[in-house]
Each structure stands twice: as structure tokens, then as C-alpha cells.
Amino acid sequence: MNQPDPKCAKCGGSMVEGYSIDKGHANTALASRWVEGPFETTMWGNADTKGRDCRSITLWRCVKCGFLEAYAIEPAETPGFFTP
């Protein structure tokens, strides 16, 4: 993410780069992703992400007030939650 020294939109404080984490199967840790369209599930109850645009999420956190700003720019591999 090319955003050198971004400032908080709420208070003007400094922002630090990070990401949101999710728990995957068997306690593995996965970075959250942005997926295009409304949330829908397959007949197995998993998120249906087949054929959708998927991006990795970069979260910037303000060190002063805690405000989070999210960017979803880099294309990411769609998690294997779709119908096989």
C-alpha cells in the first residue's frame, strides 16, 4: 500500500499500518479479505465467494484516537469457501 505517513481523518493523528485477522480451520490465522457483493452462503453454509472480486485488506489505525481506515486494493486469492 503506497500511502506514506497518512493522517487520521478524524483527529489528524499518525496512522500505523496493520490488518484484521480471522481464525481459520484448526486455529490457523487468516488475514481478513474484502469480497465483492452481498454475503451469501453455499448449501454447506460456507461463504459463497466463487467468481467474486477478492482483495486483501490493509487497516490503518490512528495512534491518537483509534480510528480505523481500511483499504482493499491488492487482489487476493479467494479463500476456498466456494462450492467445489
Q: Out of 10, 68, 75, 83, which residue is the one contacting Zn ion (CB under 5 A)?
A: 10
Radius of gyration of the chain (CA): 15
Report how far residue 80's alpha carbon sits from residue 84's, in angstroms, rounded to the nearest whole number.
Answer: 9
Scanning 1-9, 23-31, 43-51, 71-79 for contacts with Zn ion by CB under 5 A, the matching segment is 1-9
What cell was used for 36?
465483492
Contact yes or no for 16/45 (Cβ under 8 A): no
CB of 37 or CB of 66, closer to Zn ion: 66
Confirm or reject binding of residue 15 to Zn ion (CB under 5 A).
Answer: no
Confirm or reject binding of residue 65 to Zn ion (CB under 5 A).
Answer: yes
Confirm or reject binding of residue 16 to Zn ion (CB under 5 A).
Answer: no
